Structure 1
Amino acid sequence: MLDLYHAVAGEEEEEEEAVSRPVLTGLSTQSPPPGSVVSHADTVVSLVNMVEQDRDTSSPKPYWKEFRFDLAQVPAGESVTAAEFRIYKARGVSRHSNSTLHVSIYEIAAEHANRESNLFLLDAQQLRAGTEGWLVFDVTAASSHWLVERKYNLGLRLYVETDNGLSVEPGSVGLLGRRGPRSKQPFMVTFFRASASPVRATRAAKAPRRRQPKKSNDLPHPNKLPGIFDDVHAADGRQVCRRHELYVSFQDLGWLDWVIAPQGYSAYYCEGECAFPLDSCMNATNHAILQSLVHLMKPEAVPKACCAPTKLSATSVLYYDSNNNVILKKHRNMVVKSCGCH
């Protein structure tokens, strides 16, 4: 999850230049790089609290292992974009060490007292028995189903077979369960995204040409400025609306006991004059231009336009929830990218 955080945080810096990549990572013996599912998700939840069950040894084969995760902490009002089940495969030593293994993961669709459970195939991987590392399975269909109807969350079932169809006990070929080291225990990662809501973009506006003041009174065009965030002053020496530095420290807020990363971030803020004339470098809205004109005529009745953010971007935070699950959450509208007059 920390690797995902660092990758997503890097992508946020290049958000507008991001290129779509494969949706899911498939089989991987390394921590997989985030694909478009990760970078486009609002929330990534790592579910570690689970119930694990093995086939009763008195029952006939095939061997299997079941996992059931608690989805009580999933975000409300968000939809699943993807979900992955991850289980660690140790190298191990067994009589199947030179075999090719077929590992299948199923959703338990229904359970019955006197017969086998109904299963729905979610994903399957083929690998050499000597493989070591994390195996990643696509369980999006099950996670979506459970989110809509939580009573159907009966868990996942995993089977292992050899090339000739022989059922193999998962632990005997190195698939680690709850008895393995804490850092290598199975878990599920689910990606969520809030439902999109229509957002009306702010339009850049200029006063009609015949109402523009003389050119000598205009502020410099932004292309002629030394830098987009350099100090800019109005004719009377006051600083015009622009972005200023602001660093928010999570340590100062006392949040580092539950926030994993980052330790803080640059939030910025907007401040400055929105005095007439509102030049294009002030990113003024039509309303701000008209408000400024009315303010000139009735300063006691109508205030000046205000300096405020015109563009905001997201910041991702990695933290623990109350159940000790690790959450990677993309918080929108956290960083000021540009300022203007409103």
Structure 2
Amino acid sequence: MTARTSLNLIGLAWSCLSFLSCAHCGLSDNHVHSSFIYRRLRNHERREIQREILSILGLPHRPRPFSPGKQASSAPLFMLDLYNAMAVEEEESLHQGAGKSFSAKAQGHSKKSYYNAQHAGYSRVTPPYRAAPLLGHSPSLRTAHDTNFLNDADMVMSFVNLVEKDKDFSQQRRHFKEFRFDLTQIPDGEAVTAAEFRIYKDRSHARYENITLKVTIYQVIKEYQNKDAETFLLDSKNIQASDGGWLVFDITATSNHWVMNPQQNLGLQLCVETLDGRSINIKAAGIIGRNGPQSKQPFLVAFFKASGVLLRSVRAAGGKKKNQNRNKSNNRQDSSKPTKTGDYNTSEQKQACKKHELYVSFRDLGWQDWIIAPEGYAAFYCDGECSFPLNAHMNATNHAIVQTLVHLMFPDNVPKPCCAPTKLNAISVLYFDDSSNVILKKYRNMVVRSCGCH
């Protein structure tokens, strides 16, 4: 099923639930508004819509994450900042496409998408890690590298540290700390384009205030029962003990290796040393571990891009055959009806092909526990007559114009062109998976930008 067909299906089904209202706007943007109140969905209808939307989102089932708690943690907050960056980009794209006559209500929905994560407990109040990058003064959570990674990515995932108890190390590594992340929940067909390990550093203990520290990250290669694990040096950074902010380590190659070889994912180890090689306690160095504030917890973030064309999963079509049979019978009945000679004389009384408002609410589906943002989105839909003559605002293709003329001559054999989307935009969705990892994914062809006759 194509994205266009899927969108139309949602439009037909969702019209049973939505309350849509707005003032009429100009014809130049091929966009009209209407006011309707529809009946509430029955349970089986709601389940069918849920299945259809989950399929479009590429999810085999509804995620059921562990309760994230009331206090916002670092990974969701970082992901929220990335989401807001994408939301601004999408809003600007809509404004460019719609011009000055862009719907005020659609703007409201877009702003709601940007701010609504407050309802999930992730406030837009400036969090403590606005200091990232460590030595900079960027007003954003993300670095310039993150912005570049985001532009090239279809999906971003954050992973929380799974270590709940400190491991016993030898005397030589007594100040080492380990971190583990589950990368087995990555959807098929996604390739890692970038990955970062992020850990927060506060000001160091007074005794180290005026010295330079070396923070080193290792990949665990092999573990032993009676001795320290074999490790591989990934990266190290020299920092001032008095500095504070997020330390960011590039672990792209390691993450790719873990995705391809999950059994070899033995985690990371971190240590802090003075420049003369003396190991020090990471807490005294200001490094925040799992016992620190939730907003400063270490996490891993990975950026992905689809490596090929992904097909939607095939679902049972038991309930669709009835509709198909009904449509076929209706078509037979329609074809047996006499042709109306006054078809085009009365077409002016019918509404021409236009873009109509349609708001899809994730909250009304009961998904607010796993979708962080948005609460919903303005999807719009296309409807109206494609009758002769096809005016300029109908965005008709050359084929549609020819088909209209042939329909005039042979109305029983050739149907009129259909009103359908001519341009579609993407949306971004921020949500939890079953393991409470946070995922930010861009879904293409979800918002009707303009309609036309095809």
TM range (shorter): 0.7 to 0.9
Map of 2:213 onto structure 1? 101
Q: Secondary structure at the match of 2:348?
A: coil
Whether the 8 Å contact between 1:49 and 1:325 is mirrored in structure 2 is no
Map of 1:335 onto structure 2? 447
CA deviation string 1:286-310 (max 9, x = no partner):
4433432332222112211111111
More moved, 145-154 vs 161-170: 161-170
CA distance in structure 1 between the aligned counterparts of 2:189 and 2:352, rounded to whole angstroms:
41
TM-score by length of 2: 0.60
Map of 2:27 onto structure 1? none
CA deviation string 1:51-70 (max 9, x = no partner):
26656354324742221101
Map 1:133-152 to 2 at 5 A.
Answer: 133-152=245-264
Cα 1:243–1:40 shift into 2, 3 Å: farther
Alignment partner of 1:273 is 2:385: yes
The letter for the 1-side match of 2:259 is L
CA distance in structure 2 between the aligned counterparts of 1:28 and 1:235, rounded to whole angstroms:
67
> What percentage of aligned pairs have identical amino acids?
57
Partner residue of 1:155 out of 267, 272, 275: 267
Partner residue of 2:162 out of 50, 53, 59: 50
Q: Secondary structure at the match of 2:283?
A: helix
Map 1:289-308 to 2 at 5 A.
Answer: 289-308=401-420
Map of 2:353 onto structure 1? 241
Map of 1:12 onto structure 2? 90
Whether the 8 Å contact between 2:258 and 2:264 is mirrored in structure 1 is yes
CA distance in structure 1 between the aligned counterparts of 2:252 and 2:225, rounded to whole angstroms:
27
CA distance in structure 2 between the aligned counterparts of 1:15 and 1:131, rounded to whole angstroms:
39
Q: Secondary structure at the match of 2:305?
A: strand
CA deviation string 1:13-43 (max 9, x = no partner):
23599xxxxxxx8646772254121233222
The letter for the 2-side match of 1:184 is K
Alignment partner of 1:174 is 2:286: yes
Map 1:1-342 to 2 at 5 A.
Answer: 1-14=79-92, 27=134, 31-33=141-143, 34-51=146-163, 54=166, 56=168, 58-61=170-173, 63-112=175-224, 117-195=229-307, 197=309, 236-342=348-454
More moved, 51-60 vs 178-187: 51-60
Structure with greater helix percent: 2
CA deviation string 1:177-215 (max 9, x = no partner):
1122222221111111213559xxxxxxxxxxxxxxxxx
CA deviation string 1:209-249 (max 9, x = no partner):
xxxxxxxxxxxxxxxxxxxxxxxxx9824332221222222
The letter for the 2-side match of 1:10 is V
More moved, 150-159 vs 117-126: 117-126
The letter for the 1-side match of 2:374 is P
Cα 1:103–1:266 shift into 2, 3 Å: same
Q: Over the residues paired in the alignment, what is the CA RMSD in angstroms? A: 2.8
Q: Secondary structure at the match of 1:183?
A: helix
Q: Secondary structure at the match of 1:171?
A: coil
CA distance in structure 2 between the aligned counterparts of 1:4 and 1:28, rounded to whole angstroms:
20
Runs of at least 5 residues in structure 2 that lack an aligned partner in the other structure? 1-78, 97-131, 311-345
TM-score by length of 1: 0.78
The letter for the 1-side match of 2:179 is F
Whether the 8 Å contact between 1:310 and 1:340 is mirrored in structure 2 is yes
Whether the 8 Å contact between 1:28 and 1:136 is mirrored in structure 2 is no
Whether the 8 Å contact between 1:53 and 1:67 is mirrored in structure 2 is no
Runs of at least 5 residues in structure 1 that lack an aligned partner in the other structure? 18-24, 199-233
Cα 1:57–1:77 shift into 2, 3 Å: closer
The letter for the 2-side match of 1:329 is K
Report the CA distance between 1:262 and its aligned residue.
Answer: 1.6
Map of 2:334 onto structure 1? none
CA distance in structure 1 between the aligned counterparts of 2:240 and 2:392, rounded to whole angstroms:
63
More moved, 88-97 vs 256-265: 88-97
Report the CA distance between 1:95 and its aligned residue.
Answer: 2.4
CA distance in structure 2 between the aligned counterparts of 1:102 and 1:316, rounded to whole angstroms:
38
